[in-house]
Structure 1
Amino acid sequence: MLAQREAKLFGKKDVGTEQLLLGLIAEERNGEGFLGSGVTIDRAREALKNLLQESNQTFVTSDKQASEIPFSSGSKRVFEAALEQSKKMGHNYITPEHIALALFTVDDGGATKILDKLGLKTQKLQAESIVRLQGELAKDGRTPPPAMSLPAKSGATAASSSKRPGRKEKGALNDFCVDLTLRASDGKIDPVIGRDSEVQRVVQILARRTKNNPILLGEPGVGKTAIAEGLAIRIASGNVPEFLTGKRVMSLDMGLLLAGAKERGELESRVTSLIEETRKAGNVILLIDEVHTLVGSGSVGGRGGNNGAGLDIANLLKPALARGELQCIGATTLDEHRKHIEKDKALARRFQPVIVNEPSQEDAVKILLGIRDRYEEYHKCRITQEAVDAAVYLSSRYIADRYLPDKAIDLIDEAGSRARIDAFKRRKEERVSILSKTPSEYWQAIRAVQAAQEAAFVPQSALGDSEYLIESAANTLPKAVDIDQESVSLPVNELMEGSVIVGPSEIAAVTSMWSGIPIEQLTSDEQLKLINLEKLLQTRVVGQDDAVNAISRAVRRARVGLKDPSRPIAAMLFCGPTGVGKTELTKALAQHFFGAEDAMIRLDMSEYMERHTVSKLIGSPPGYVGYGEGGTLTEAVRKRPFTVILLDEIEKAHPDIFNMLLQIFEDGRLTDSQGRVVSFRNSLLIMTSNVGSSAIARGGSGKIGFSFAEGGDEDYTNLKGLVMDELKNFFRPELLNRIDEVVVFRSLEKAQVRAIVDMMLAETKERLAKRGINLEVSEAAVKLVCDEGYDKAYGARPLRRAVTRIIEDAVSESLLSSHYSEGDTALLDLDASGNPVVVQHSKPDRCDHGLCVQVRAPVSVASS
């Protein structure tokens, strides 16, 4: 027991009432101290030490175990009195409050001396103990008996205690609520725009005789709380019917209400006090944001349910709501209302729903314009009309998992902070550069400022003397050189201070940072990359110009903003024989445009052949293993919406997967197992298939081996028609009709094999270069690889095996059998029997043997 520990600390032979008091004080773990007095155990110990020193007593910590120290006769009388107190009050247990009441009644004088030393009054502590015990009975739904009334001697003290400064004396309304009407009167609430119909609906419900409690339902960020704030603004301005005149909208802070309520019954006591004060005030409308948190809060059985022995806050509010003594405005989301409020029918029927929909883009622009000046004042910047329009448009298009106007407001807010920080860094750099300027450079800066002033129609007399000119020039030199049209129209003082302007480019930069989608203006490097995208892709994919051109056109349309915003960037189907570069082209696109090959989401559809595997894409349904973990496809796109999705060998997938693809191709969205909508509007979907390979192999005349690549565009059109016939036999018409383009890959010709071999040898050379060894391959060896690796039916994959067998195996054996130093060269040639052989050349290299050529970088090879 804590009292025995205190007795051991002070070296006492038994536990007296002094140590019993210290144990009760140590038991209090909330921030308000012993019974709300603010006294902590450290202060109490210091007071006892001072009393012992005043009486010339010394103490030494006892060697006994704390549990071995007995209780004094005075302490035993306290426990007996506490038992009597518990019986009188109808309790079947003893709490620290019972012991405190008994200690104040039968104290032998030791505890009273400590309380006097601390400046505490026994009557106040008794009153606080009784309040807590009353809360325990309220928790059980019982009325306190007369034995729990305050003692008569504490009446005068109770009157004086109301004057004591502190949180409890202010009342529950002031402790746990914020007066929105008062904040509206002080101008601390942003104006509410475009919600007149919803505010009017709330006023109508408040005017009802019974069940006059509106509950605002809507998605997060649509402005539910703002509607209640709009009502507070109307009340503060007097723009309400007479029955609302003088009313106060008080917002309940659930965090404050629950914080520190560790003792049994303390939370229930707070709620009952809140209800009682609201009833007595008569002019209070209670706003409960996140009203679903009331259900289960305070239950002994846990916050999430109502299985415990105690009542939750919602059950305490129900009687007051039913009698009309308490008028509330609730606010919560539709999902939380369905999960918590609707299940409690008694609570649900006491509230009248008001649906708050997401505002349109036009209304969102009006909302942002209404609050623009608040953000301009805070960030010390100017937000243009174009920035507001861009925030609404870009957030609606690229941030699909949030709602207007919240996401547009956040864009404006962060763009303002970003611009302000950039301006601070810029001004700091300008001030530092002043020290390195020569007098002639100062005068050049002055002339630049004078030119800017003339452009802004500022008279010369307003510029002041030369010293002011020099200081102004130092602060505004970069802006004076390149001043835009918006800056010209600014007032003189803003121009001189280098006013921070937030425009569409700043909004686009923040949107790009949030979503990972490149939205900002095209740079010259990116423009060049997009123009030459075909050439970049052809460095890795040979002989497939039709496919390269099709995918490049789709990417350019998306990047300049001409694609349909409600659909993916493109949905393409790559058909052709194996090994011709279908998957390689997708990897090349991910590397050159999306940043890296890791930006590609690759799904091998052979893993989704069974019906039960279909759910892996969007997540397992409730009751199945993996529920709540998200789907393979949906989670990947949620984390990286700007990506290329490769569905490899789509013909092997289960037919149910095609049903999901219909929605993605048409609407650019998919709902996962948890009800979250995932946007595919910034993704490029590519499916590869071997359907149609037989048509490519047969050719138009039906003879095996006929090559369409040897013909012109007419032959390729005929080939594509044959492939489409096979696709129609395999895929359903509604799927094929939603695919943007079906690209037929041509078979590889022997003329294209050399370029592919060069690419493979370049990769081998790069791996050897990491070990500091160069590689040279003779023309004869390269020709051997091309001859043995070429197989029209299997494409480039046999070439990979030939490179491995002829080149890499021979080099590996040479590296193991010979001692190579950094900088040496391995020369691979053919011996008299036509077998590969490797000759080591020590540095410096000698390339005058005339037998081989150094492996060169791959070049683009156009199909014949």
Structure 2
Amino acid sequence: MLADKEARGMGAAETGSEHIFLGLVAVDCFSSVGVTLQKARNAVELVCGTPHKRAATEKMDWGEDAKGVYQAALAESQAMGHSYVRQEHILLGLLSHGSANWKKISKRMRLRSERLREEAILQLGGAQDLEAPKSRVMSAMAGDVKGGSKGVTTQGVDELCRDLCQYAREGKIDPVVGRNKEINHVIQILGRRQKCNPILLGEAGVGKTAIAEGLARVIEQGATPQGSPLPDFLKGKRLMQLDVPLLLAGAKERGELETRVTRILSEVKEAGNIILMIDEIHTLVGSGSVGRGGLGMGGLDIANLFKPALARGELRCIGATTLAEHRAYIEKDKALARRFQPVIVDEPSEVHALSILLGLQASYEQHHRCIYTEEALRAAVVLSERYIADRLLPDKAIDVLDEAGSRSRIDGHLGRKQQQGQCDPEAAAGACEELRQVIEAKDVAATEGHFEEAALLRSRELELKTKLSGPAAEGALLPVVDIAEIEAVVAKWTGIPVEKVTQDEAQKLLKLEVALHANVIGQHNAVSAVTRAMRRAHTGVRDPKRPIASFLFCGPTGVGKTELTKVMADQCFGSRDSIVRLDMSEYMERHTVSKLIGAPPGYAGFGDGGKLTEPVRRRPFSIVLLDEIEKAHPDVFNILLQVLEDGQLTDSQGKTVSFKNTVIVMTSNVGSNAIAKGTGSIGFQLDVDADRKDYKRISNLVKEELKVYFRPEMLNRVDEIVVFEPLNMSDLDKVADILLDETSARLAPRGVSFRLTPALRREVLRHGHDPAYGARPLRRSIALLVEDPLADAILRGRLAEGDAAVLDMEGEGGRVVVRAPGEATSEACEGPISDVVAYPGIVVEATVEV
């Protein structure tokens, strides 16, 4: 042994702890702190004296201090559940039972014992408590270990698991609300003779771990969720949650991980009163695999070590994982999958989620020292469900509530700093504690059927909340979290402007028609039809399982179909970006239909999600715009039938995507031929003076032609077939105002404004009028006759910040001239411009030929 060699080299009579130190230095145990073997020998010589020569063959005896170090190393190994002693164990023994000489050497070399201990434990896998290492070692040496119901050792379980029953006993677990059905199902499976192992399956955030914690509360309370006595097979049980990362940490030697698992299984079997809970149980599959191991390769992994105990009923185990991970890992191992009984944990409804938040209200109020209003709880559920699409209830609603409480607590603290003396922290703490006790007593009284007592406690609860959350002048102690706080948190998370989040549905509907008419010109009938459908949907009349509304927009190009959709998105969904747009000309072939729901297994792109299902799954509160629907393959309509009728669609990975919070908008140019036949015109070029009177006749003609392209079951599922009318000159004049306002807004940062003379305005309308293309040529006309001259003037430096230009037509050639307001024009400029006459006499020579 290296320690004996060092002792012999120093001429010592026996091997001591200082020689063990030199042996550990020789194997690089102290390299992390910069200790070399030569430095260590020098320090030992200074403390213990110079070496004396001894016979090379003389055997070395171990001194009492060296024996103590080795016994402490054995105790360290046992305490960690190891069946071997490594150099790190010996280092831990040296740190706790070294001799006086070792302590002098350590002090001389400025070695930090705590740092060395942490590094040694890290190398061994972190299985020992860093805060109380000495008491653990002494306890293990004395044989004082915690046992189960039969007095057996469960030290390995205690080190690698956390006792959920103890957490419930100490009040560290939040109440579990509305999961009685799942908890009862788990209890029934645990009562089986064999394969008594439930596995909780559900998406992340739905409350799988909370169900296990709820079972721990049931065991501690001694009664089932219905109030009946606890079954005998659960009495006295300990629900222990296995820490899988801690189990795997540091197991680098072959056999270490298997030793830990075998020890845990042996202790659970001998104790007989332990139920093991393994969260993220899929991580066990493939862990610790050797040889040709790994998923699907037949290697030995720790999941295989659990199988015999699970099958024989020697181990009661509760697993938890997501459906996707269960399918990817557990289901592929048939032998493992059949040993577990699935318990599906679905996402709760909004009503159910609200009841969960009401159950957690007291805990979060106590933590944040605030008061939550019931309206705030309801808003947390509704707004998180509406705007936070990539997470599930109740997790996202709880997180919104938690952050709103933290925000309120910080703001309240700043307010108290500004108003010293108005709030007594001790009084707030006392009142908050009393409120917590009153709420707990009220819940107990209601559960036991003492309703009169519960009513009195409810009155006291309201009094305390009034005292804690009233106005400052009345002695308020705690801040109030109301709807505004919840809305601010949701707006910050999603990036949606807070004013869009704060508007309630009634206000949005009242303003909807006005906003649509202001942005969509000349489509009174279309706007009215859309508004009627949206109001009908939001007043509870519609089927809640179907989409909010579905529309089929028909009409010529450039009349406002897409613009109406964008305004609807802005007014109803908070942003113009809340549109899932699909160009159906990309789905003309039969094989392209699969892109909507995702490629099937085995094909390229499987797992990427569908072009329709994935955006809606991530952002369910949006408008789905299917442009030029008549160009799609007929198989697309089969998919849309399910969406329009049932409000849901299943993608290629088996995920069900809900469309109940979407508005389906389909656009089409179908109807051109029917209108041409009915009016004697070409396409949609109708008599612009009579087209309003003919709207009903036009609609009937369009609907007749739609029957040629679409099956009756498709048309019957659409809420409104909206026919858009051609635009006349009066409509184009209003559209021009909107487009010119947009140009003016883009110039506002430069401080430049402009006006058009009536002559130029007439020329813009004339140049941009084409009944076959609607309002789109008008945009090009404004770009040519307005924006180009302004851009040329700005580049030439003739327009500076604060200038107000007047654009005019000049001469027979139709030149556009940019003038200052004081210059003569061919006609008076429309509107007052006296407020923008800042630099008279400036003439900008920017012209364009028309």
* TM-score, normalised relative to structure 2: 0.70
User: Contact between 1:602 and 1:645, CA under 8 Å: does it hold in 2?
Assistant: yes
User: Contact between 2:186 and 2:198, CA under 8 Å: does it hold in 1?
Assistant: yes
More deviation, 573-582/690-699: 690-699
User: Contact between 1:135 and 1:269, CA under 8 Å: does it hold in 2?
Assistant: no
Residue 44 of structure 2 aligns with an amino acid whose one-letter code is L
Instruction: Give the distance between the partners of 2:502 and 2:325, measured in 1 at CA.
Output: 45
Residue 342 of structure 1 aligns with an amino acid whose one-letter code is E
**Residues 367, 41 of structure 1: CA spacing in aligned structure 2 closer, same or farther, 3 A cutoff?**
same
Residue of 648, 664, 683 corresponding to 2:627:
648
Shift in Å at residue 580 of structure 1? 1.9
Q: Which structure 2 residues correspond to residues 695-710 of structure 1 after superposition, within 5 A?
A: 695-700=674-679, 707=686, 709-710=688-689
* Count of matched residue positions in the alignment of Structure 1 and Structure 2: 714
Shift in Å at residue 706 of structure 1? 7.4
User: Contact between 1:199 and 1:230, CA under 8 Å: does it hold in 2?
Assistant: yes
User: Contact between 1:218 and 1:333, CA under 8 Å: does it hold in 2?
Assistant: yes
1:537-569 deviations in whole A, cap 9, x for unaligned?
444432222223333455566677776543333
User: 2:638 corresponds to which residue?
Assistant: 659
Q: Which structure 2 residues correspond to residues 7-18 of structure 1 after superposition, within 5 A?
A: none
Residue of 832, 835, 851 corresponding to 2:827:
851
1:22 aligns with 2:25: yes
User: 2:70 corresponds to which residue?
Assistant: 121
Instruction: Give the distance between the partners of 2:66 and 2:742, measured in 1 at CA.
Output: 86
User: Contact between 1:211 and 1:351, CA under 8 Å: does it hold in 2?
Assistant: yes
User: Contact between 1:285 and 1:328, CA under 8 Å: does it hold in 2?
Assistant: yes
Instruction: Give the distance between the partners of 2:212 and 2:256, measured in 1 at CA.
Output: 29
Shift in Å at residue 626 of structure 1? 3.1
Residue of 600, 608, 611 corresponding to 2:590:
611
**Residues 45, 578 of structure 1: CA spacing in aligned structure 2 closer, same or farther, 3 A cutoff?**
farther
SS in 2 for 1:607: helix
Shift in Å at residue 846 of structure 1? 0.9
User: Contact between 1:649 and 1:689, CA under 8 Å: does it hold in 2?
Assistant: yes
User: Contact between 2:672 and 2:684, CA under 8 Å: does it hold in 1?
Assistant: no
1:573 aligns with 2:522: no
User: Contact between 2:551 and 2:665, CA under 8 Å: does it hold in 1?
Assistant: yes
Shift in Å at residue 307 of structure 1? 3.4
Q: Which structure 2 residues correspond to residues 298-697 of structure 1 after superposition, within 5 A?
A: 298-300=288-290, 305=295, 307=297, 311-356=300-345, 368-383=357-372, 406=395, 409-410=398-399, 412-431=401-420, 490=465, 492=467, 496-502=475-481, 531-554=510-533, 565-591=544-570, 594=573, 596-697=575-676
Shift in Å at residue 723 of structure 1? 0.8
Shift in Å at residue 275 of structure 1? 1.8
1:246-273 deviations in whole A, cap 9, x for unaligned?
3322221112211222333221121122
User: 1:861 corresponds to which residue?
Assistant: none
Instruction: Give the distance between the partners of 1:51 and 1:498, measured in 2 at CA.
Output: 64
User: Contact between 1:292 and 1:337, CA under 8 Å: does it hold in 2?
Assistant: yes
**Residues 201, 41 of structure 1: CA spacing in aligned structure 2 closer, same or farther, 3 A cutoff?**
farther
SS in 2 for 1:287: strand
1:50 aligns with 2:26: no
User: Contact between 2:553 and 2:722, CA under 8 Å: does it hold in 1?
Assistant: yes
Shift in Å at residue 505 of structure 1? 6.5
Instruction: Give the distance between the partners of 1:809 and 1:408, measured in 2 at CA.
Output: 52
SS in 1 for 2:599: coil
More deviation, 502-511/629-638: 502-511
Residue of 791, 796, 800 corresponding to 2:770:
791
**Residues 690, 649 of structure 1: CA spacing in aligned structure 2 closer, same or farther, 3 A cutoff?**
same
Shift in Å at residue 636 of structure 1? 3.4
User: Contact between 2:496 and 2:574, CA under 8 Å: does it hold in 1?
Assistant: no
Shift in Å at residue 51 of structure 1? 0.7
Shift in Å at residue 803 of structure 1? 3.8
Residue 246 of structure 2 aligns with an amino acid whose one-letter code is L
User: Contact between 1:17 and 1:108, CA under 8 Å: does it hold in 2?
Assistant: no
User: 2:259 corresponds to which residue?
Assistant: 269
1:553-593 deviations in whole A, cap 9, x for unaligned?
55566677776543333322221112222223333444566
**Residues 49, 743 of structure 1: CA spacing in aligned structure 2 closer, same or farther, 3 A cutoff?**
farther
Residue 304 of structure 2 aligns with an amino acid whose one-letter code is N
Instruction: Give the distance between the partners of 1:25 and 1:308, measured in 2 at CA.
Output: 38
**Residues 710, 23 of structure 1: CA spacing in aligned structure 2 closer, same or farther, 3 A cutoff?**
farther
SS in 2 for 1:181: helix
User: 2:728 corresponds to which residue?
Assistant: 749
User: Contact between 1:828 and 1:837, CA under 8 Å: does it hold in 2?
Assistant: yes
User: 2:172 corresponds to which residue?
Assistant: 188
More deviation, 209-218/765-774: 765-774
Shift in Å at residue 295 of structure 1? 1.4
SS in 2 for 1:250: strand
SS in 1 for 2:718: coil
User: 1:101 corresponds to which residue?
Assistant: none
Q: Which structure 2 residues correspond to residues 227-242 of structure 1 after superposition, within 5 A?
A: 227-238=211-222, 239-242=229-232
What are the ranges of 5 or more consecutive residues in structure 2 without an aligned counterpart?
Answer: 7-18, 87-136, 148-152, 223-228, 424-459, 834-850
**Residues 393, 491 of structure 1: CA spacing in aligned structure 2 closer, same or farther, 3 A cutoff?**
closer
User: 2:704 corresponds to which residue?
Assistant: 725
**Residues 727, 784 of structure 1: CA spacing in aligned structure 2 closer, same or farther, 3 A cutoff?**
same
**Residues 789, 192 of structure 1: CA spacing in aligned structure 2 closer, same or farther, 3 A cutoff?**
closer
Shift in Å at residue 719 of structure 1? 0.9
Instruction: Give the distance between the partners of 1:580 and 1:521, measured in 2 at CA.
Output: 27
**Residues 43, 665 of structure 1: CA spacing in aligned structure 2 closer, same or farther, 3 A cutoff?**
farther
Shift in Å at residue 717 of structure 1? 0.8
Instruction: Give the distance between the partners of 1:780 and 1:721, measured in 2 at CA.
Output: 40
Shift in Å at residue 312 of structure 1? 1.2
User: 2:163 corresponds to which residue?
Assistant: 179
Instruction: Give the distance between the partners of 2:801 and 2:349, measured in 1 at CA.
Output: 67
**Residues 585, 746 of structure 1: CA spacing in aligned structure 2 closer, same or farther, 3 A cutoff?**
same
Shift in Å at residue 779 of structure 1? 3.0
More deviation, 276-285/328-337: 328-337
1:134-187 deviations in whole A, cap 9, x for unaligned?
799xxxxxxxxxxxxxxxxxxxxx999623999999821111012233333334
1:783-822 deviations in whole A, cap 9, x for unaligned?
3333343222222233334444455556666777896655
User: Contact between 2:387 and 2:619, CA under 8 Å: does it hold in 1?
Assistant: no
Identical amino acids, percent of aligned pairs:
51
Instruction: Give the distance between the partners of 2:571 and 2:728, measured in 1 at CA.
Output: 26
**Residues 118, 746 of structure 1: CA spacing in aligned structure 2 closer, same or farther, 3 A cutoff?**
farther
Instruction: Give the distance between the partners of 1:45 and 1:164, measured in 2 at CA.
Output: 40
**Residues 25, 519 of structure 1: CA spacing in aligned structure 2 closer, same or farther, 3 A cutoff?**
same
User: Contact between 2:161 and 2:243, CA under 8 Å: does it hold in 1?
Assistant: yes
User: Contact between 1:22 and 1:45, CA under 8 Å: does it hold in 2?
Assistant: no
Instruction: Give the distance between the partners of 2:571 and 2:200, measured in 1 at CA.
Output: 49
**Residues 587, 125 of structure 1: CA spacing in aligned structure 2 closer, same or farther, 3 A cutoff?**
same
**Residues 374, 723 of structure 1: CA spacing in aligned structure 2 closer, same or farther, 3 A cutoff?**
same
Residue 316 of structure 1 aligns with an amino acid whose one-letter code is L
User: Contact between 1:297 and 1:303, CA under 8 Å: does it hold in 2?
Assistant: no
Instruction: Give the distance between the partners of 2:558 and 2:183, measured in 1 at CA.
Output: 65
Q: Which structure 2 residues correspond to residues 129-140 of structure 1 after superposition, within 5 A?
A: none
Residue 375 of structure 1 aligns with an amino acid whose one-letter code is Y
